[in-house]
Structure formats: structure tokens, C-alpha cells
Structure 1
Amino acid sequence: MAAAVLLTVTAVPAVAAPGAGGRTQDPGTTLLPPLPVRLGDGRPCTGASKTTATGAVWSQTVLGLSAAQRVARGAGVTVAVVDTGVSPNAPALAGRVTTAAGAGADCVGHGTFAAGLIAAAERKGSGVVGVAPEADVLALRGTDDRGVPDVALVADAIRTAADRGAQVIYVGHTLRTGRGELTDAVAHAADRDALVVAPAAPDAVPDEELGPDGEQPTGPYWPAAAPGALAVVDFGAGGTRQDNAPPAWEPDLAAPGSGMVSIGPRGSGHYIGSGASLAAAEVAGAAALVRARQPGLSGAEVRRRLLETAYPADTPRLDPTAALTLVRDADDRGTEPAGAPSARLPAAADRGPRHRALAFTGAVTGFVLLMGWAAVVVPRGRSRGWLPPARPAGRIAPPS
């Protein structure tokens, strides 16, 4: 389970959060409830949060979303969310969620939380906004109602999402088995021009998956490890991956994933969570922005663009604005939408005429300067009979 993080928020109603030793914090601050990764047997479904975050979330600033969303907002793009389900009643997603095979019921809340990171719209009194706030969401189930992922469910959901026209497919959980099925599912999505985005590490490791001495598994994790998928790891507010995070398996891209704030499956309040799955949701939102901005790019080209425009680091870091605005090479030319041309350098021209023109200009300039000099010197010389200037008084001229 993700740890709660202290934020300045508006509580409805106001609640004093317990601090160390049972003391209470300042009534003006409270703790957002943590987002569960899975629900144990008998645990009730995640309810409505009574707390609303009103300030901008740190990840929005780090990603420069205000600039990126002036270029694109995800309109016309469908992002499939393969997770615990997505609540179509979430106010920030109202009217933009389509569900399949019972995925409209989200007991855990992880799928709705991730969908909010991807596509939550601005709402009055809320500081939470998704990366692509005008994208549509197609909800499919990849887990049981407790949040435990299943290979067959995830593989079938990826295929169904691609067949139903999703341009970006987000998978919210990792699997240590199912290499063949999930590799085939990712290939099926690629054949239908859909990009699969998935975490390169689990958000938490259940006790039954730990080693004999409590060591964490190291992967590979599917479907992120499948060829063509975009494997994502999280980095914290300090710019590095959390020390206590499970080890990632060959990540392609890093994005904010620690201390993330988003919506819950019920009500208009907010939850907080951390993990690579939430970083992957940010990347899925960025992919939706690119696909909205440049619909002519294929899923593979969108993947390449996100990687090539990323900020250089040990694991390149997502830069949505650069992905939307930079032209990296000739392969991207001609893909910009009408009315938004990118600046390019012209082709090299023949330098011969330029050199001749410069030589002629230099000669004319020299002639003009020479004539100006003569106009000043010649009259003065004539006035003195072409004699040198007179010697200063007190000096003896040399003998003639």
C-alpha cells in the first residue's frame, strides 16, 4: 500500500489528521487517504475520499503540462485502461468513459485513479488535472475484483482494446508469467496501430512473491518487457527512483510516479499513491497528446518520439512539450497538422554566386573608401604646395 504524504488540501468536512505519537496536525492540513494497490479478502471496496486537493500537484509542474496542453489536450484520442475498472461516475471523467465486460465497477480504485492521471478534466475547486484532459477512456478489466492481475484477462483486454480502436493502451499491473500470451497481445495491438504502455516494475510486491530471505523479484515483467511496448519506471519528487521501490526491469522511460494525487472511484475527493504504474499512466497521457497533435504518426512512431525527445538521464525522462513541438529528423517531416508548421533549415545552395557577389561588393566598397580619402587629402596637399607640414617652433631643421 502506498504511504500517505502530507499535503495542503481542503477537507470536506475539515479533518485534523493524526500525527506522530497520536498528536494532531494543524487543522489547516490533513492527509490524503492512500490508494490501495490490492484489497485483501473481506476488505470493503474503496469508498469516497472526503479530502480534496486544491493546489497544483508537483508532477504537473515537473512535466510542464500548462505549456504542453496549450499545444494539445488529447481530443479525439481513446486511451484504453486495462486495470481494476474505471468508474464512469467519476465527475472528472464524466461523459468520456466507455466500459467493456463489467469494467465500469471499480472496487479497488486503482483503475479510476490511473484514468484520472491520464484524462481527468479541470474542475472548480480541484487542483488535479490529467495529462490529456480531453481524451476518451475505454475501460477493460485486467484483474479480479480484489486487484489481482490475471494473464488471460490482460491479454484479452489488450486485444479487445486494439480491435475497438484505442490508440493508446495502458496496462496498470505487472505479471511475472504469461510471456507468450502477452507478447502476442502487444504484437496484435501494434498491428492495429495501438501503443501499449505498461510499468517496468510492480508498485508493491505481495509477501508470497518475495524470495526466501525477503528479497524482491527482479523481473522481467509483462507486458512491459514485450517488444514494442513502452516500459515505464517512476522517479520521485527529488528526481530519482525511490530507494524502497521494487527494482525495474529494463525501463525505456521515466516519469513522475511518487506522491501522485488523483481521483477515486466514488465521489469527488482525492487519493494519493506511488509506483511505476502511476508513472506509466502519465506516459500514456503524453502519448495521447502526441496522437492528438499528430494523428498521422503510427503507434511505433509515437513511441520513438517520446523516447527521442525525453530529457537525457540514466533512464530518459518524459518531456511532453518537447514530444509535441520538436522535429527530430527527416522521418517526422510532413506530419505536422495544417496551420502549425515547424521551422526547418533550407537546403544548402550553390555558394559560387554568393562568393562572386561578396567579391564585387568588397571591390566597390574599397573604391568608395579610396575616393573619399583622396577627396580629403588632395586639396590639403595642393594648398601647401605638396610640402610637408611646418616644423614646430624651437626645433632646428636639418641642413639642406
Structure 2
Amino acid sequence: MRRVRSSSRPVRHAVAATLLAVVPLAAPVPAVAADSVELPVVPAVLAPGEPCTGASEETAREAPWTRQALGLKRAWSLADGGGVTVGVVDTGVGTAVPALAGRVTAVGDAGKDCVGHGSFAAGLIAAAPGDGVGVAGIAPAARVLAVRGTDERGAVTPDLLARGIRAAVDGGAKVVYVGRVVPDGKEVLTAAVTYARQHDVLVVAPFAPDALPRDRATGGTVPPAPWYWPAAAPGVLTVMDYGPDGTRPKNAPRTAGADLAAPGDAVVSVGPGGAGHFIGSGSSFAAAHVAGAAALVRSRHPDMTAAQVSRQLVTAAYPALPPRLDTYAALTAVLTDGRGALPGAPPVRIPPRAPSQPRERALLVAGAGGALVLLVAGAAVVIPRGRARGWRPAGREDEPGPTA
């Protein structure tokens, strides 16, 4: 089993079981390693003859860098994903994972994960934090519906993915995470996504594969395809990855056109069994984080449609290219452009204009009262002076006054 060691050297693919983010996303710098620990790398597919992935004997000693980057502590004060089922269309999800205990339902044989990739993604989505362990999923109270989207060893075809998406929708998932994308299968996968949209289910997928395959003839990397499916299907929320320093590996597949970016490089999660941890990198794990965030939004705002949830996540994201997932903002932002404010807020009611008659009467009475006051005040001044002059006009005080 491959292992990697985290250290204080510059961040690379395998640095991170114990990394802590030290600055916000606005000014990313390399994270700091708090300790050193070796974690096995979770595979995406098993080579011929390679045994199934076993339980990890190592656990992360510190909270991974993703917890601070995603603002999970604040987000959990508002929602935990309770009441929402997330379909995980991948290599399966182990039902014996302690962090997911009692919350995994499997379709067919998807409760056994020989590879480990699906269990790892499910942990990023919904793993419950344990005592003294910093690893936790974004929506730790959400339920997981395990659906096989590959064969037992991780090989994938468009038909397998399409059947997996439909099975997740039929199984009651409100968010469907698809862990793989393929360069063909446009018709069958677009139809599967349309089926999900018709049932108000949000599909989240990586924008591109985690790594480009090798050309068997030349041994070099196969050029990227112009489109990957189901990511290119209308309505799919597509995601790319970034690492602890805010950047992507130089050899990572293209990213232009993704809807969101989320932590996906050097992330830590659970394996197909046991309480140990694995490490992994790629857009598929960034998509798992976004699927968990979508579960939080649907938990807090159950009246929002799938399209509104997608738009909420993108619009409330941290400004970048592409926008970076901001879990707390997605739970609290109120969109004010008239195209999808959070549901449940009552419309603003403007009270009717008050009738003018009472106001006019009040002004008339006040005016009359003021005139009377002025008249009385004037009389109080004029009458005493008139009496003192014997009612003679001013300037003729020496003339005899009127006689009785």
C-alpha cells in the first residue's frame, strides 16, 4: 500500500494529513504542517491482480486544512445535512465505516467498496467527527445512498454511470454525487441527468478527470477531451479542485469553464473500512465537498429546488475564477436580484395610503384654533391701551375723550 509523509516542506500532492489553513482564500499561502504522519493514498482504480484496498492503520492527528477553508464550524451552527440523502455514484461505499455508521444504504452490491474511492468521497460528504479526530464530512448528519457507478475494480463506462445516476434518483437521493467523468457517452448521460432534473435532484460532478490516462502506444499522457460527461450535460454542477496553497498541480487537467472550485488536493478522509484515514487529490474530491454543501443547503432550505440550490452555491461563492465554495455564505446569503431569493420569506407589503379627509379636517381645525389664539392675544394688547387713551386715536391723546 502506497504511503506519503507530510512535512514542513512546500506543499505537494501528498502533504496534508495534518495541515491547517492559516489565511483566508483571498490571500492563499502555503499551509503549515503541525505534525508529521504517514497516510496511504486512496486509489481510483485497481490494477489487474492488485488486492482490494484494506483499512488504513493511520489516523490524522490534526484537523485537516479543509475544515478552516470551508468554514465548517460556522456552517454546522446552521445545518448538518439532516433529512437529506446524498447518492454516491462511485466504486461503492463500505457499510462498516464507523464515521458513516447507520447512515449508509446500498443499492445492490454497492455496500462493498473494493477500491476505496467511493468510501473516501462519502466521508468527505457525510463523515461524522469522532472523539479526538479532526476528519469530518461537510454534512455529518446526511444519509448516504451507495450506488455502483463503476465495476468492482473501478473501471467506468458511460452506461454504468448513467444507470447509477438513475438508481440514485429512484432511491430517494436529493443530491447525486458522480465520482467519475468520461470523454464519451453524451446521449446516455445527458438523458440520465435530465431524469434527475425532472425529479428535482441536483447532480454534482467533477469538471474533468482527476488525472489524464496514459497512451499505451507512446506512454505519454492522453490529451484532454473537449468535453467530459456527465459534467457537460445541462444542469450539472461542475467542480474543479485546489490545494492548501490555493493553487492546482501543474499537471492537473484543464479547469476553464467549471462552475465552482473547492478543496480537493491533499485532502483527508476515511477508507472502505475501519477508523483509519487516507489521503487523496483530484476534482472528484472537490465535487464531493460541493455535494456535501448542497446537502447542507437542502437541509436548511428544504423548499429550494435543485436549480435554486445550485445557483445559491455558485452565487454565494467567494469571487474567483471559478468561484470558490463558501459553505457558510451559501447557507445565509439572500439573493436580491429577483431571480431566486431564499424561499419562505414573505413578500413585502406596502400599507395603503391613508385617506386625506381626516388630515384636511385636522388642518382646518388647527388653523381656526390658531387664528382664535392670535385674535385673543391681539385683543389683550389693544383693549388696555385703548382704555388708557380714552379710545382716542394715536397722536391725539391731549384731546378730551368721549363722554358717557
Question: What TM-score range do you get, normalising by the shorter chain?
Answer: 0.7 to 0.9
Cα distance in 2 for partners of 1:59, 1:140 equals 26
Query: Please, which of 110, 114, 117 is the counterpart of residue 103 of structure 1?
Result: 110
Q: Is the contact made by 1:211 and 1:217 (CA closer than 8 Å) also made in structure 2?
A: no
Work out the percentage of aligned pairs sharing the same amino acid: 52
Is 1:32 matched up with 2:39? yes
1:210, distance to aligned residue in structure 2 (A): 9.2
Cα distance in 2 for partners of 1:304, 1:211 equals 43
Is 1:327 matched up with 2:334? yes
Which residue is 1:273 aligned to? 280
1:347, distance to aligned residue in structure 2 (A): 6.5
Aligned-partner SS, 2:287: helix
Q: Which has the larger radius of gyration?
A: 2
1:149, distance to aligned residue in structure 2 (A): 1.2
Which residue is 1:5 aligned to? 15
Aligned-partner SS, 1:207: coil
Which residue is 2:125 aligned to? 118
Which residue is 1:396 aligned to? none
Which residue is 1:250 aligned to? 257
Q: Note the 1:59-78 alignment, pairs <5 A.
A: 59-78=66-85
Cα distance in 1 for partners of 2:248, 2:44 equals 19
Q: Is the contact made by 2:18 and 2:65 (CA closer than 8 Å) also made in structure 1?
A: no
For residues 216-256 of structure 1, what are the alpha-carbon distances to aligned partners after superposition, in whole Å with 9 as ceiling and x for unaligned?
A: 31431111110000110001111122222122362111001
Q: After alignment, is 31-40 or 290-299 more displaced?
A: 31-40
1:208, distance to aligned residue in structure 2 (A): 3.3
Is 1:296 matched up with 2:303? yes
Question: What TM-score, normalized by structure 2, do the two folds share?
Answer: 0.77
1:37, distance to aligned residue in structure 2 (A): 1.5
Cα distance in 2 for partners of 1:64, 1:315 equals 19
Cα distance in 2 for partners of 1:244, 1:349 equals 64
For residues 116-172 of structure 1, what are the alpha-carbon distances to aligned partners after superposition, in whole Å with 9 as ceiling and x for unaligned?
A: 000000111311010000000000001111111121111011112112221000000
Query: Is the alpha carbon distance of 1:126 and 1:246 closer, same or farther for their aligned partners in structure 2, counting shifts above 3 Å?
Result: same
Cα distance in 2 for partners of 1:5, 1:324 equals 30
Aligned-partner SS, 1:32: strand
Cα distance in 2 for partners of 1:321, 1:271 equals 26
The code of the aligned residue for 1:220 comes to W
Cα distance in 2 for partners of 1:182, 1:210 equals 29
Is 1:187 matched up with 2:194? yes
Query: Is the alpha carbon distance of 1:346 and 1:311 closer, same or farther for their aligned partners in structure 2, counting shifts above 3 Å?
Result: farther
Query: Please, which of 152, 156, 160 is the counterpart of residue 163 of structure 2?
Result: 156
Which residue is 1:378 aligned to? none
Aligned-partner SS, 1:79: strand
Q: Note the 1:306-385 alignment, pairs <5 A.
A: 306-329=313-336, 330-333=338-341, 335-336=343-344
Q: Is the contact made by 1:210 and 1:216 (CA closer than 8 Å) also made in structure 2?
A: no
Which residue is 2:54 aligned to? 47
Q: Number of aligned pairs?
A: 332
Q: Is the contact made by 1:117 and 1:131 (CA closer than 8 Å) also made in structure 2?
A: yes
Is 1:239 matched up with 2:246? yes
The code of the aligned residue for 1:287 comes to A
Q: Is the contact made by 1:218 and 1:247 (CA closer than 8 Å) also made in structure 2?
A: no
Cα distance in 2 for partners of 1:317, 1:89 equals 33
Aligned-residue CA RMSD in angstroms?
Answer: 2.7
Query: Is the alpha carbon distance of 1:49 and 1:250 closer, same or farther for their aligned partners in structure 2, counting shifts above 3 Å?
Result: same
Query: Is the alpha carbon distance of 1:209 and 1:144 closer, same or farther for their aligned partners in structure 2, counting shifts above 3 Å?
Result: farther
For residues 180-211 of structure 1, what are the alpha-carbon distances to aligned partners after superposition, in whole Å with 9 as ceiling and x for unaligned?
A: 00001001000000000000111122213898
Is 1:90 matched up with 2:97? yes
Q: Is the contact made by 1:142 and 1:153 (CA closer than 8 Å) also made in structure 2?
A: yes
Aligned-partner SS, 1:117: helix
The code of the aligned residue for 1:165 comes to G
Q: Is the contact made by 1:201 and 1:249 (CA closer than 8 Å) also made in structure 2?
A: no
The code of the aligned residue for 1:4 comes to A
Cα distance in 1 for partners of 2:217, 2:307 equals 35
Q: Is the contact made by 2:16 and 2:268 (CA closer than 8 Å) also made in structure 1?
A: no
Query: Is the alpha carbon distance of 1:292 and 1:155 closer, same or farther for their aligned partners in structure 2, counting shifts above 3 Å?
Result: same
1:306, distance to aligned residue in structure 2 (A): 0.7
Cα distance in 1 for partners of 2:254, 2:219 equals 17
- Structure 1 residues without counterparts, runs of 5 or longer: 10-27, 354-400
Cα distance in 2 for partners of 1:312, 1:210 equals 42
The code of the aligned residue for 1:181 comes to V
The code of the aligned residue for 2:229 comes to W
